[in-house]
Amino acid sequence: MSFKEFLNYQIIVSENITFTVYNAIFILIAIIATIIGLKILKRIFNRFIVKKKVERGSYWSVYLIIRYITWVIVIVVLLDSSGVKVSVLLASFAALLVGVGFGIQQLFSDIASGIVLLIERNLQLNDVIQLQDG
């Protein structure tokens, strides 16, 4: 068995997907590269925070958003490269998320407001907020 035959060896075969050793190696390398890339990005953010002496919370929120978006993109690309029909999957999720979005619209509004508060730094640690209700 040659190396090329080994890479093309089919691990999972079904009518919709054919998963080979090459796919498994590609997924492993992509996941490791993503983890390393995100660790490097985290170090860059930490150095920037220490160098500029800025509040950690707002930059940490930006890092988390970048991390989540990166993982979503990596997972979609890996599924697509593995032979999964991502367009059907994304269309299904889009329809599902529209329905869920209407149900939890207030939650998304609160999250967006929280991100704005973190970025604009209107509130600081140990601030006291008084409401009209008491």
- pLDDT, tens digit, 9 for 90 and up, residues 119-128: 777 777 677 8
Q: Establish how many alpha carbons lie within 13 A of residue 27's alpha carbon, considering only the half-sphere containing its beta carbon.
A: 14
- What range defines the domain where residue 28 resides? 3-120
- pLDDT, tens digit, 9 for 90 and up, residues 39-51: 999 999 888 877 7
Instruction: Tell me, yes or no, whether 17 lies in a domain.
Output: yes
Question: What token pair was written down for 106?
Answer: 């207030």
| Helix locations, the chain, DSSP H | 3-7, 21-52, 56-81, 86-103, 105-120
- Residue 134: band (very low, low, confident or very high) from pLDDT cuts 50, 70, 90: low
Instruction: Tell me, yes or no, whether 90 lies in a domain.
Output: yes
The rounded mean pLDDT for the chain is: 81
Instruction: Tell me, yes or no, whether 23 lies in a domain.
Output: yes
Instruction: Tell me, yes or no, whether 105 lies in a domain.
Output: yes
Most confident of 21-30, 48-57, 84-93, 119-128: 21-30
Instruction: Tell me, yes or no, whether 64 lies in a domain.
Output: yes
Q: Establish how many alpha carbons lie within 13 A of residue 33's alpha carbon, considering only the half-sphere containing its beta carbon.
A: 9
Instruction: Tell me, yes or no, whether 86 lies in a domain.
Output: yes
b/e map of 29-49 (b: 16 or more CB within 10 Å)? eeeeebeeebeeeeeebeeeb
